[in-house]
């Protein structure tokens, strides 16, 4: 097999080019429309972000979260944690410098001029450049090592271990930087998910590099930028706890307690810094909290490819049960779905070969746990957006060197699951081209890497010590990889078929939501399979020096 990535090295200039192209793709995506463009009076997420800039630079910090005539709770109130507010303030300053009218208090509602749109778009790209890109580079460096082989741009050594490592590195970087779902939401639809995702990624990288306290602080920052980062909280909590309990560095009860409290203090201190302006009174804090966690919204929004929304076709959850019951049910199921992965992290891993007690969980385990807990939240928690799929995607794209095929198609499926939203935003064209781009770049290399990893797996370690589960998964993944081309073509054909049906056939009178339903049901199938596979792989992970099993599950077949 020859593909483009054979000719892409992981040295400085190749990485620079990849980053440059990533910026290019973002700029090009930004040429399209955005959420709520020209859609008075409420507009969309673009207006929400602009409105926050308007609020934050015109009002004192203490008034940001307080209802007032100029800060109306019904017109895009600031409902993200303070760090988002600070970031809005920064971006607002940039907007004011370029076009003062664009952030004038109240008068600027629905302000959409070409120049202000350019500045808005560039603030997102700047956030990428300042937070997300560095985090990606750091995470790839930590998890896949530095570019050891100097064989920059030199091919034909495929097969050797160095080439596999290089390919894994490049693949992970590309997956992180060109994830179509993330690009289209941030740069097409318009949001700043890249900040909180970037901070989370940086936290994972810090922990992976052995800087757990820094990781805890960074993750707290992520939480303070967007409460959605809570999806990852169980993973970080469990991993850090497991580390504090089992690391060789702190033996005995005293050091363990000390470590746990150090972690706790770091988190509290970070939160305190972020919340400093509101800590003077309890009311202020509560005011912010009620804005951030609006329980009054429903179980899910629009069409989400999660459990509640998909199964509501059969069981009308919202109609049958009162909101508090659903809230509790959601909490319980989420916890239950996230618990196994958490337990795995807290328990640590058995030291090998025999005896010697328990060692701290691996960084790869952290990534899998992040994916699992994010999926648990996406599938079962209360008030989930379709955009929340970006969260499970983050650890999965970083896992691209370990789970290449999964990382190759899940982002596309995620974009697919959001298509009803994207179509409304008028970003169907970027959707098509970003998915095609990602698929074209990733599919071939991912498959060949997956086959390589699988071969290595099957030949060396699996023989020696492996339970029935591992053997079953290895066998299944081997089967899937052998028939990969067929499976993938079937899935792509299914997706295209749904798109074609949506384009050509008008839905029946009585079922106007038929197409949206079809989309999310198909996506849900894929997500559920992935989630089950990830749960299993979490428990298979960890014996062999941090290299997880190189397998993948079956692809969703529509």
Partner 1 sequence: MITNAGAFLQLAVIATAIKLLLVPTYRSTDFEVHRNWLAITHSLPISKWYIEETSEWTLDYPPFFAWFEWVLSQIARFVDPAMLVVENLEYASGRTVLFQRLSVIVMDAVLLAAAYALARDVSSDDASSRPGGEGKSKPKKLQGLGLQADVAADQTTAAPATTSHSASIGRGHGNSSIRSESSGSNMRRSIVLFFLLSCNAGLLLVDHVHFQYNGVMMGLLLWSLYAARSGRHLLSGLLFAALLNLKHLFLYAAPVYFVYLLRHYCCEGTVLGPACAEAESGARSSTGKGSSKGSSSTRKGFGLGRVVVRLALLGAGVLAVFGVSFGPFIMMQQMPQVLRRLFPFGRGLLHAYWAANAWAPYAAADKLLAAALPRVAPWLGLDLEKLGLRIEPGAANMAGGLVRVSRFSVLPQVSPAATALAVLLALTPCLAALWAGDGRPGYMRRSIVRSVSYSFLSGFVFGYHVHEKAVLVALLPLAVDAVLTPSAARRFLLLGTAGNYGLLPLIFRPQEYGTKILLFLSYFFVSMVALGSIHAEVQLGPREAGVADDGAALQALFSPSKMQDGSTSPVKSGLERRTVKSPMKGAAVFGRMTKLYLAGFLAVELYVSIVHEAVPALRRRLPFVPLMLTSVYCSIGVLTVWVDMATEWVCEASLGWRKRRKH
Residues that bind partner 1 (CB under 8 A): 1-4, 6-7, 9, 11-14, 16-17, 20-21, 23-25, 27-33, 114-115, 117-118, 122, 150-157, 159-160, 162, 429-430, 432-434, 436-437, 439-441, 444
Q: Smallest distance, Å, CB 188 to partner 1?
A: 10
Name the minimum Å distance from CB 46 to partner 1: 15
Nearest distance from residue 3's CB to partner 1, in Å?
5
The residue (of 34 and 65) whose beta carbon lies closer to partner 1 is 34
Q: With respect to partner 1, which residue has the nearer C-beta, 287 or 433? A: 433
Three-state DSSP class for residue 384: strand
Strands (E), 288-440: 349-350, 358-359
Strand segments, DSSP code E, in 308-463 are: 349-350, 358-359
Minimum CB distance to partner 1 smaller for 11 or for 301: 11
Other C-beta atoms closer than 10 Å to the C-beta of 552 total 29
The least CB distance from residue 497 to partner 1, in Å, is 20
* Nearer of residues 29 and 179 to partner 1, judged by Cβ: 29
Q: Which tokens in the block code for residue 348?
A: 């640590």
Task: For partner 1, give the closer residue by CB, 165 or 209.
Answer: 165
478's CB contacts (< 8 A; 6+ apart) are 454, 458, 551
Angle at 230 between CA 88 and CA 400, to 5 degrees: 95
Measure the CA–CA gap between 280 and 284, rounded to whole angstroms: 8
CB 30 within 8 A of CB 185: no
Strand partners, 300: 384
State the first-to-last Cα distance of the chain, in angstroms, to the nearest integer: 28
CA dihedral over 100, 101, 102, 106, signed as positive or negative: positive
Nearer to partner 1, 33 or 139 (CB): 33
CB of 530 to partner 1, least distance (A): 25
**Which lies closer to partner 1 via its Cβ, residue 25 or residue 138?**
25
Nearer to partner 1, 436 or 532 (CB): 436
Q: DSSP state, 160?
A: B
Q: Which is nearer to partner 1, 20 or 351 (CB)?
A: 20
Identify the CA nearest to 303 among candidates 518, 498, 504: 518
Rounded-to-5 percentages of helix, strand, coil across the chain: 70, 0, 30
Burial of 287: CB neighbours in 10 Å, binned 0-12, 13-18, 19+: middle
What DSSP string runs through 339-361?
HHHHHHHHH-EE-SSS-S-EEPP
- The least CB distance from residue 163 to partner 1, in Å, is 9
CB neighbour list of residue 547: distance below 8 Å, 6 or more residues apart: 364, 402
Cβ 214 to partner 1, closest distance in Å?
32
Rounded distance, CA 356 to CA 339, Å?
26
- Measured from the CB atom, is 117 or 502 closer to partner 1? 117
User: What are the E-state strand segments in 15-157?
Assistant: none
Question: Whole-number minimum distance, CB 507 to partner 1, in Å?
Answer: 22
- Whole-number minimum distance, CB 52 to partner 1, in Å? 23
- Dihedral (C-alpha) 531, 169, 174, 150: value to the nearest 10 degrees? -170
Min CB(187)–partner 1 separation in Å: 11
Burial of residue 297 (number of CB atoms within 10 Å: 0-12, 13-18, 19+): exposed
Nearer to partner 1, 23 or 260 (CB): 23
Q: How far is the CB of 67 from partner 1 (least distance, A)?
A: 36
């Amino acid at each position: 097999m020859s593909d483009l990535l054979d000719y892409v090295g992981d040295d400085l200039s190749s990485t620079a080019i990849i980053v440059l192209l990533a910026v290019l793709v973002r700029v090009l995506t930004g040429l399209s429309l955005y959420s709520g463009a020209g859609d008075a009076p409420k507009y969309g997420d673009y207006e929400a972000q602009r409105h926050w800039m308007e609020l934050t630079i015109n009002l004192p910090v203490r008034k940001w979260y307080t209802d007032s005539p100029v800060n109306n709770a019904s017109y895009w109130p600031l409902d993200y944690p303070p760090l988002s507010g600070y970031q809005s303030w920064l971006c607002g300053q940039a907007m004011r410098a370029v076009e003062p009218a664009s952030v004038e208090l109240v008068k600027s509602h629905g302000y959409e001029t070409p120049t202000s749109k350019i500045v808005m778009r560039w603030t997102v790209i700047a956030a990428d450049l300042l937070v997300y890109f560095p985090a990606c580079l750091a995470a790839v460096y930590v998890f896949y090592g530095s570019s050891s082989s100097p064989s920059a741009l030199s091919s034909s050594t495929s097969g050797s271990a160095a080439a596999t490592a290089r390919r894994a590195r490049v693949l992970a970087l590309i997956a992180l930087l060109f994830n179509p779902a993330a690009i289209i939401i941030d740069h097409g639809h318009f949001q700043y998910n890249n900040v909180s995702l970037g901070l989370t990624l940086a936290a994972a990288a810090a922990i992976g590099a052995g800087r757990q306290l820094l990781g805890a602080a960074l993750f707290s920052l992520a939480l303070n930028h967007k409460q959605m980062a809570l999806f990852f909280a169980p993973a970080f909590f469990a991993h850090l706890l497991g580390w504090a309990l089992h690391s060789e560095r702190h033996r005995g009860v005293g050091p363990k307690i000390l470590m746990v409290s150090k972690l706790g203090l770091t988190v509290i201190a970070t939160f305190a810094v972020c919340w400093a302006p509101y800590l003077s009174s309890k009311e202020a804090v509560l005011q912010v909290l009620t804005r951030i966690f609006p329980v009054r919204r429903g179980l899910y929004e629009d069409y989400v490819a999660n459990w509640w929304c998909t199964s509501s076709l059969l069981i009308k959850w919202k109609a049958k049960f009162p909101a508090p019951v659903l809230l509790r049910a959601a909490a319980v199921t989420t916890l239950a779905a996230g618990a196994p992965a958490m337990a795995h992290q807290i328990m640590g891993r058995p030291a090998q070969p025999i005896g010697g007690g328990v060692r701290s969980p691996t960084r790869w385990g952290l990534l899998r746990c992040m994916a699992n807990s994010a999926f648990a939240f996406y599938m079962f928690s209360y008030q989930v957006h379709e955009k929340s799929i970006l969260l499970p995607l983050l650890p999965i794209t970083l896992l691209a060197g370990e789970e290449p095929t999964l990382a190759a198609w899940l982002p596309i499926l995620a974009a697919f699951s959001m298509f009803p939203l994207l179509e409304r935003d008028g970003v169907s064209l970027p959707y098509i081209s970003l998915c095609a781009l990602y698929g074209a770049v990733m599919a071939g290399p991912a498959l060949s890497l997956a086959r390589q990893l699988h071969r290595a797996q099957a030949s060396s370690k699996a023989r020696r010590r492996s339970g029935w589960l591992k053997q079953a998964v290895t066998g299944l993944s081997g089967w899937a990889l052998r028939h990969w081309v067929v499976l993938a073509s079937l899935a792509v054909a299914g997706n295209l078929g749904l798109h074609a049906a949506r384009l050509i056939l008008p839905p029946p009178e009585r079922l106007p939501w038929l197409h949206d339903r079809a989309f999310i049901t198909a996506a849900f199938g894929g997500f559920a399979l992935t989630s089950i596979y990830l749960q299993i792989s979490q428990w298979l992970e960890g014996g062999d020096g941090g290299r997880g099993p190189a397998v993948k599950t079956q692809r969703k077949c529509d």
